[in-house]
């Protein structure tokens, strides 16, 4: 998957020490690094062609907090049984309104993807956390019990004055809770 350098910059600015691994890294290799959390980064790619990653993601689900962004979000959805589909026009650009269901707040987001996750197949405790207000597609998940969150859009894209950095802070809160339990 692709690394967006602003993801690394934001996490570093928030006090994280980062290790970047390729998408071909095995679960064993990832866990041998003893990560406090794992961020599944954006694409590119059609999530339907990346089933080889799903087993690794499934193996990590109950072992370490996970945050998925864009393609990482889609792969988490697939790991929980959801299907992905090609959007008619794709979501491109920096003016997509997304509602955080928990807070009700609407964020203007940066997006660059041609696929989305169908909400109908979600199961095993994964629930929708964010919705695109233009077309009602799923823009985020959270798990009811496991330390997992994901978003379809690019929180690191800074469409406004760091509007979506709160998601990284939310993920780091989950990581901290897990470390303290």
Q: Is 29 a catalytic residue?
A: no
Q: Is 70 a catalytic residue?
A: yes
Counted domains in the chain: 1
Residue for token pair 């390729």: 22
Residue 28 has pLDDT above 90, yes or no: yes
Tens of pLDDT, residues 111-136: 889 999 998 878 889 999 999 999 99
Query: Is residue 6 situated within a structural domain?
Result: no
Rounded CA gap, 87 and 126, in Å?
A: 22
Which residue among 23, 73, 139, 156 is the active-site one? 156
pTM over 0.85: yes
Tens of pLDDT, residues 45-67: 899 899 889 999 999 999 999 99
Query: Is residue 11 situated within a structural domain?
Result: no
Q: Which domain holds residue 88?
A: 25-163+170-180
We report the CATH number of the domain holding residue 143 as 3.40.50.880
Rounded CA gap, 78 and 64, in Å?
A: 18
Q: Is 16 a catalytic residue?
A: no
**Cα→Cα distances 16→12, 19, 35, 169, Å:** 5, 10, 11, 11
Which residue among 91, 96, 113, 154 is the active-site one? 154
Which residue among 70, 113, 139, 143 is the active-site one? 70
Per-residue DSSP letter, 3: P
Query: Is residue 155 situated within a structural domain?
Result: yes
Query: Is residue 16 situated within a structural domain?
Result: no
Query: Is residue 12 situated within a structural domain?
Result: no
């Amino acid at each position: 998957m692709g690394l967006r350098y602003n993801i690394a910059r934001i996490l570093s600015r928030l006090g994280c020490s980062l290790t970047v691994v390729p998408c071909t890294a095995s679960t064993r290799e990832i866990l041998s690094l003893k990560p406090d959390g794992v961020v599944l980064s954006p694409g590119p790619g059609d999530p339907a062609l990346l089933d080889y990653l799903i087993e690794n993601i499934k193996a990590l689900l109950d072992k370490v907090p996970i945050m998925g962004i864009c393609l990482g979000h889609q792969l988490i959805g697939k790991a929980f049984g959801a299907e992905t589909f090609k959007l008619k026009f794709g979501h491109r650009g920096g003016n997509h309104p997304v509602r955080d269901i928990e807070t009700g707040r609407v964020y203007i987001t940066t997006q660059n993807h041609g696929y989305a996750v169908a909400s109908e197949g979600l199961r095993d405790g994964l629930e929708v956390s964010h919705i695109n207000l233009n077309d009602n597609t799923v823009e985020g998940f959270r798990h009811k019990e496991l330390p997992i969150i994901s978003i379809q859009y690019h929180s690191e894209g800074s469409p406004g004055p760091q509007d979506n950095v709160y998601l990284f802070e939310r993920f780091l809160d989950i990581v901290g809770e897990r470390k303290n339990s």
